[in-house]
Amino acid sequence: MVWSCKSKTNQSLLPCNQGNYLIGNYSSLSHDEDVHQTTSQQNPQQQETTIKGKTGDESSRFRKMYLFFILLTFSAIYLVCAFAQPIISPSPRFAFRNINTIVSFGDSYTTRYLDVDSLTYACRNCTSAGGPNWVIYLTDSTQWISWDFAYNSAPVNNSIVPTVIDVSTQVRELYQQILVSPTEKISTIVDSVYAKRGIQHTHESTLVTIWVGINDIDLTYNWNQTDELDSLIMRRYELLIVS
């Protein structure tokens, strides 16, 4: 078989005569060149097909894994909610109809000037409102029994803003002396109040209110740099709520 020396593949490597024809039998070379030419022509398409195939497979695999994790996540959330529902009890609702007692703490906006020895109030209109205040209006409409420990000009805490009996004292001392650990005399008075109504006093039947802060503001409004003081007052107030 005769090869042309004009072949680009081997023109500088193979012996040629004057007619630019290769000398000798190069049948194996012909086969190799055909293979090389075929491969060089087909490889780009095959590579493109291969790349597309791999990319498609990886994309499909990624979508399947993504859907799997979504389903797994929702399944886990469902199981947690399903099993946690019987464990987590709902917060107790405020049963207004079960209330028969209101215990009030605060300042002049709330006080009725309770006499702690006889557990009586000075008079119906003896308030800063010059008549019935909000506590009286509420108890008139509900017929609740009122224990009003509020004191005129009271702040949250005397150690911060010094003045008269503060709300901290009302909560931790007056309330304790009358409704938690009363003397025999006080206990008899309290029991008789409920006996006349034919009702019992329990925690579930008691509404506790605190109206305070006006005097803390009034007594410190002209002070300089009260940011830390304000934060301290609020912390003391929060302690009263959780105590």
Beta-bridge mates of residue 210:
105
Burial class (CB in 10 A: 0-12, 13-18, 19+), 206: middle
Tell whether 20 is covered by a domain: no
Is 198 inside any structural domain? yes
Say how far apart CA 239 and CA 243 lie, in whole Å: 6
Q: pTM score > 0.75 for this model? A: no
* Residue at 218 is within a domain: yes
133 lies in a domain? yes
Q: What distance, in Å, lies between the first and last C-alpha atoms of the chain?
A: 110
C-beta atoms surrounding 100 within 10 Å? 19
In a domain, 67, yes or no: no
Encoded tokens for 183: 């003397």
In tens digits, the chain (243 residues) has pLDDT values of 444 444 444 444 445 555 544 444 444 444 444 444 444 454 555 555 555 555 556 667 767 776 766 766 766 676 666 665 555 566 677 788 999 999 999 999 999 999 999 999 988 898 999 899 999 999 999 999 999 999 988 888 877 666 678 888 899 899 999 999 999 999 999 999 999 999 999 999 999 999 988 888 888 888 888 888 888 888 888 888 776
Number of domains in the chain: 1
Domain assignment present for 80: no
Q: What is the domain range of residue 102?
A: 97-242
Whether 42 is in a domain gets the answer: no
Q: Where are the alpha helices (DSSP H) in the chain?
A: 27-87, 134-142, 167-169, 175, 184-197, 214-220, 227-242
78: in domain: no
